[in-house]
Amino acid sequence: MPDWGAHLSEMRQCAPLVHNITNYVAMNVMANVLLAAGASPAMVHAVEEAAEFTPLAGALTINIGTPSGPWVAAMEASAQAAQAAGLPWVLDPVAVGATAFRREIGARLLALGPAAIRGNASEILALSGAAAQGKGADSADPVAAAEEAARALACSTGAVVAVTGPVDYVTDGARGWRVANGHPAMPRVTALGCSLTGLVGAFLAGAGDRATATVAALAYFGLAGERAGETAAGPGSFQVALLDALATITPDALTAGARVQAA
Ligand SMILES: Nc1ncnc2c1ncn2[C@@H]1O[C@H](COP(=O)(O)OP(=O)(O)O)[C@@H](O)[C@H]1O
Ligand SMILES: Cc1ncsc1CCOP(=O)(O)O
Ligand SMILES: [Mg+2]
């Protein structure tokens, strides 16, 4: 098994600037998660500047949670700029199956070469063209039901695909892992999936093996959730405790606490 903590160590040493085009709900939570982990977030979405900003960063993340026409233009221009600069970019297809608008955006972004895709099971099913039962931004499908779709998506796009839920599944089409870290409070706080997508971006900046870097980001976030769950009294204090745990988990603690199995 790879040394998961080494990926955290490399990310903190690099302290990458991560360019995020994300949704209104997630902006603050996601920026704080990236700062707590040791990366530098920048939320830059105006079409007038987004593509100019992208090459300044170590990675780009694109989240379609609250899309509108000009934002979509900025997403496409930034994804193209990332491609041109050889930068990894991560797609978070929030509620992609819910409307025709989102399905069209998802298809257009998929064609722009994401290095990784991170979504819940309903989103990965819908993005792959399979039937899905998503409830808005929330999943209504089990992770296991999306594993085949994730592998197919990885093979057709070349991206690492991460399906999150009670036990996450990650694949690059050839290899697969299950990540059992996490806490049941995590889906009760908004924008934690979006924030995890930002962390995947941070771990991909400069990473040699993008699949194991993605697994490490998921295990790290899940372990922080476990730590937060030990002290939190409810969703409010859980969110605060999660930031503290992200900041205090060491690479050695991640190596020891990662519950990852090859799948
Ligand atoms: N029931 C659960 N138990 C433990 N961890 C969970 C559970 N549901 C989600 N998570 C974790 O919450 C984080 C966000 O995943 P998820 O809720 O699937 O994303 P989204 O918010 O995009 O739907 C991931 O780290 C995932 O492992
Ligand atoms: C509630 C909501 N509505 C549009 S985007 C968004 C945030 C979704 O965040 P996450 O996918 O991380 O739960
Ligand atoms: Mg989400």
Q: In angstroms, rounded to a whole number, what is the distance separating the alpha carbons of residues 191 and 193? A: 5
This model of the complex carries an ipTM of: 0.99
Instruction: Please state the atom number of ligand 2 nearest to the C-alpha of residue 192.
Output: 12
Q: Are 60 and 89 in contact (CB under 8 A)?
A: yes
Domain 4-262 fold: UDP-N-acetylmuramoyl-L-alanine:D-glutamate ligase (3.40.1190)
Which residue positions in the chain have pLDDT lower than 50? none
Residue 1's pLDDT is 83
Q: What is the pLDDT of residues 63-110, one digit of tens each?
A: 999 999 999 999 999 999 999 999 999 999 999 999 999 999 999 999
The H helix count followed by the E strand count for the chain is 11, 9
Instruction: Please state the atom number of ligand 1 nearest to the C-alpha of residue 167.
Output: 27
Beta-strand (E) ranges in the chain? 17-21, 40-43, 59-63, 89-92, 116-120, 160-164, 168-171, 176-179, 260-262
Residue 26's pLDDT is 98
Question: Which sequence spans correspond to the domains of the chain?
Answer: 4-262
Least distant ligand from the CA of 228: 1
Whether 222 lines ligand 1, by a CB cut-off of 6 Å, is yes
Residues making up the binding site for substrate: 43, 191
Q: Are 231 and 237 in contact (CB under 8 A)?
A: yes
Beta carbons within 10 angstroms of residue 73's beta carbon:
13
